[in-house]
Amino acid sequence: MLRSYTLTCLLLLTTVSYATRYYVHASANGNGTGLSWTNAYVDLQEALSVVIPGDEVWVAAGQYKPTAGTSRTIAFNMRNGVSLFGGFAGNEASLDQRNIAMNPTVLNGDIGEIGTSSDNSHTVVTVDQLTSATSLDGFRIMNGYSASGNSYHGAGLRVTNTLGGAFVLRNCTLVNNYSGTYGGAIYMASANLTIDHCEFINNQAGTGGDGGAIYNGNNNGGYSPLEIRNSVFKSNSARRGACIFGGLDFATLLIDRCIFTNNTSEYSIIEMDGFTTASIRNSYIIGNTVNGSSSNVFRIQTSSANEVMTMSNCTFAQNFNLYVSPGSEAIRIYGTHHRITNSIVYGNTAYAGRQVSTGMGISNSIVQGGHTSGTDIIDQDPLFVMPSPGTNTNFDASLFDYTLLYSSPGINVGNNALVDPLSVLDLTGNDRIQGGVVDLGCYESNLFLHLPGTGSGNEQLFFDAQQQELRTLKATTNVQVEILDLSGRMIIRFGMTGNAARIDLPAGAYLAKATGYSVLRFVIEH
């Protein structure tokens, strides 16, 4: 009995483990146990050498390099089931206390002569052979460099063989990473990867390279699912796929509420060969350039009926092919089963009068030049609030405003049935459907306000657009009327006597409110 009891205790000791939180702070001067901010490790590699699955590592602001030496093959190797969190000042007790923007935690591949890229780390962070959930959250990954011809794909981050687990990259910025072959910022292969609230800035695959930001490669271990949410791709470049290049098929691909702007490529900005399903929604692709006769900004290669791509509630505008005589459309999609819905395609370089290749299905969208096989196509100016005035050049669309004017033909004309029930927010986080009908493009116009103190609403106000008059059904005696803009700011106030009052205001959308009357939204057009 004693032997049996002892064996049971030993088994319990070997199977029960408790997660440990380790701390890293480049300026710590304690005893170096890593178990508190005061006694934190000063080197991230020290923490990674002792962690086990279930642990986590908190890293304070500072510069952390894969090695203090000059070996370019050394990287920060993520450990299975261990999550790393950056963005701390070094005194926090909970994750929600950190301020990532104010406390930049940098994983920097510039290990040699400062400012000379040719001696930088080939890859800054590697992730391999995951069997459980692992995350990297709150870091800047920068200055990875791998010249053309070597096997170190993915200068910023290489994620391979994670289908048995899942890797999440969250609240991270990948900047100034270079691969001469595949994946300036990220190379993924047989990887289950989720990217959330990240930025990809100034990453590059060299003149012979593909996937300036992301490259999906070798799938010998299985096809990769990729999900990208709430992320920005800006100023990336590559021969093909400045932002995303699917060299091999994805298992599934989801892009939701993302921005692609100011990226450049010879052949394509986003290009994919195949997938089981792919969806891009509530996103914009604006201000990008390509430069080649057969180049496309957005290119889908697969024509298999079993591989379906949908683009919904996206704005695809002012993307240019700089080649002297382009021979292909800005959007080139093979196959008639792919779909573009509730979207705006406007102001892009056209080929034979088309901005989108023929054959594919487009519905309930603004398409400049129309689409012969489309349904419910609007060929009109979408009336962006403040688009870029430039032509034939790449630009940063975040410096302009691609929301819709109140008089836009894209407001409240979409098809609600084509809105994914799991996609309930627009690009800025507003409710996706307002006013009863979905808008076209990545932004949803907030045309209705809930204003308190407007009475029971037993009576109605009306607007006569032809006479430019506000009217009531019966005569009134000095009823106080307020006219507001859609932000709730009062424009004018007046007393209304009788049943009509002329409204002399600039073109736009307004609200009228008066005690005892329902709030009226009306539009003035000149």
**179-237 pLDDT tens trace:** 999 999 999 999 999 999 999 999 999 878 899 999 999 888 889 999 999 999 999 99
134 beta partners: 167
The pTM for the full model equals 0.84
DSSP code for 396: -
How much is the average pLDDT of 431-443?
92
The end-to-end CA distance of the chain, in Å, is 95
How far is the C-alpha of 479 from the C-alpha of 502, rounded, in Å? Answer: 14
pLDDT at 472 over 60: yes
Cβ-count burial 97-108 (b if 16+ within 10 Å, e if not): ebebeebebbbb
- Least Cα distance to 262 among 382, 389, 386, 397 occurs for 397
Do 116 and 147 form a contact (C-beta atoms < 8 A)? Answer: no
How much is the average pLDDT of 361-371?
96
Do 133 and 166 form a contact (C-beta atoms < 8 A)? Answer: yes
pLDDT at 526: 66
pLDDT at 362 over 50: yes
Strand, coil or helix: 273: coil
Most confident of 18-22, 69-73, 299-303: 69-73
pLDDT at 105: 98
How far is the C-alpha of 179 from the C-alpha of 149, rounded, in Å? Answer: 10
521 beta partners: 511
- Dmax (CA) for the chain in angstroms is 100
Architecture of domain 461-524: Sandwich (2.60)
Average pLDDT, the chain: 90
Letter for the amino acid at 196?
A: D
Residue by residue, DSSP assigns 296-337 as -SEEE----TTSEEEEES-EEES-EE-SSS--S-SEEE-SSS
What are the structure tokens assigned to 370, written together? 């129309």
pLDDT at 447: 56
Do 185 and 236 form a contact (C-beta atoms < 8 A)? Answer: yes
Do 51 and 78 form a contact (C-beta atoms < 8 A)? Answer: no
What are the structure tokens assigned to 507, written together? 């073109």
387 beta partners: none
pLDDT at 16 over 60: no
